[in-house]
Chains A and B, each alone.
Chain A
Amino acid sequence: MIRELLGVKLREARGALRSQHGRVRIPTFAVLSLIFAGLLYGAGEFVTTRAMEIDLVGELLVHKLLSITVLVFFALLLFSNVVSAFSTFYLAEDLKFLMSKPIPTDELFASRFVEVMVQSSWILALFGLPLFLAVGVQLNADWYFYPLLILVLIPFVAIPTALATIFALLVTNIIAANRTRDAALFFGLVAFTALFVMIRSFEPERLLNPDSFDSIGELMQLLTVPSLSYLPNDWVVNILTPLLFELDAPVFWSAMLLFTTPVALFFIAAWLHRPLYFRGYSNAQEGQHQGGLMVQVRNWMMEKTRRTGVKLSTRIENLRNRGGRGSDLRQMVRKDQAVFTRDASQWSQLLIVLAIIVIYLVNFKYFEVAADEALIGDAGLVFFNLAACAFVVVALCGRFLFPAVSVEGKSFWLVLQAPITLERFLLGKWLGSLLPVVLVGQFLIWSSNLLVGIDLVMSIISSVQVLIISLVASAMAVAMGAMYPQFHKPNAAKIASSFGAVIYMIVTIVGTLVLIALWFRVSVHLGDMASRPAGMYAWLAAVSGLVIAGGTIPVVFKLGAYFLDRQF
């Protein structure tokens, strides 16, 4: 049965390869991934070579960097497994079909477990393997390092899968009154905390200025990761380092823990699955539950936004008395706002926005040190802040605006058959999302500039630039979301991490950096930070930046509408 359950997934994948979309997209994606993996291999090679060139501490540095890398991958695997466990065990479309079939519980569990593991572990295969291989090659590791590496990574990815599965089983039962989405909110909080703690503990800004370290010892101190013998990342490093550095260190305990833990966790998960799964699955299917703080908040919000207290006759009367004609743009904006605020699954994502803002501001304070030490200079600091702020805006647009067209889902027929053009539809999507994007961008640039004491003129110039970038990035996100629509995917977070979204991120980040570069000379001149006045070419560059930005918006809408139209 497990073979059938997994086999159907493989056959589905083969079918996707044969489909019209798959024939183009999958090879493209594979080539891009290989290029990326190649670049990672190159980066791994470069860092290892440079580190080994440092006398005395080279090996130790490589060891530390390896530990950090494995720890980061463990954290990534944990997070992606949790998300994957929820969608595979509770929200997958095919469950409605499978649950009605006489499939033994344990076999369903085992097949789903493998699916979660494969789904969430490709990240390690694609991004981790090239790095580890590069280290092995650079340190002239013996041939058996490579098969052992694969052997070690298999239990390393199975542990987070088992932990995530157990977590999902418990959450859907213990917090039974809450919907699965509320659990997603919880994960948002956990991710926020983990991300924040990790970034702060590395203090990456100090690496910008190596002179700030009093000694190599302090540099090493910075690179110290929590070394706990009960963390699987530590077991992996303990097994790999003797092979890399030809040490004679004991690896027995680490190897035993690494190989037995996933097996034990798998059986615990399977054991818990028997009594807990169905209740959790049933809960996940239900639309409404009573109790639970988040549920109450959501219900309250819905009551407020749909104005249940007002009688239908009064609402009809109010509408009649308003006079004039209804506006398609206004109605589209209102519809999008209502759909967004009533969808609890979006709220956890808002917490991530909050997390990004807080991390940005907290970390930014440290760059002031770099500016003081004349490492990047005041103008450099302004430029850096602008670029970082633009990056956050682009990323937020990618998360919230790129899926805007796709989340219309199967309801998109309503728009297609209505008497509005697709350009106008995209315009409506854009207008509806502009205010929050502009507000976040402005909040970031003003607060970060105030934190480090950038003067008012320069702050205003930066603010205008971020405003223009916000307008362009949001238009790009909406329009490119229309070029790569995924109406069949119900989950906005998945759409935001799709192939099209990656293309959007790359294109828009490069585009905004070009804009900032074109405006740089003139803005430092206007802000009285330049050593010499801006020449004709600098002004020409700035004006062309404005023209490019202004021209991009209508052009991407036309392109977006054109490609969207071609889908049907």
Chain B
Amino acid sequence: MSILEIRDLHVSVDASDRGDEPIPILNGVDLTIKAGQTHAIMGPNGSGKSTLAYSIAGHPKYQVTAGTVTLDGADVLSMSVDERARAGLFLAMQYPVEVPGVSVSNFLRTAKTAIDGQPPKLRTWVKDVNTAMERVKMDTAFSTRSVNEGFSGGEKKRHEIVQLEVLNPKVAILDETDSGLDIDALKVVAGGVNRFREQEDRGVLLITHYTRILRYIKPDFVHVFVGGRIAEEGGPELADRLEAEGYDRYVAAAS
């Protein structure tokens, strides 16, 4: 059973391009995600939600100043970005990056080969990719296009879900995957996450600003994130309360 453990995580963001000292963003985050669980992290803009996601994935802009992150006991923070992915972490990004010149099909095959340590079986590979694309209502013609180049916001998010399905990590972190999606696209994306969750032994960390997506992806735990740490924790009912009351109460308490 996989387990992602985050202990007392402190993270600063590099501001050297502005000639400034690193700015502390996360101020002691504790979170444990066990296989089979879905955790939702909710919070106002600027609370550090995305910083948590990118820090776990290893973005070089973020410096971990204290704390630990382990996946099944292995020290995630000592791994490079690609090693973290091969260890079983996946980050669906809020703003997926365009990579001109690299086709989606070549990208997916290279990633799958890297994750599995061997090339995928030719016989089933194309079918697997096409199936994953069709499930999120993405035209299979996207296979020949450059990664995310010229994709609409919704197409980029669907492409992230295709990758989630094809790479099938142990723990998926979804960073505001719901933002900017219309209701149909939201349902499609949620469907992909739910298929992923239906497998045994998979963990999900769902980062969102809105409660809307939680109608389609039912979390087991909800964490309210304010000022770079978890301010309150509860079950799905906490999300309902946030929808009714908003974040004002927490923001006022933190400031």
Bind each other: no
Residues of B within 8 A of A (CB): none
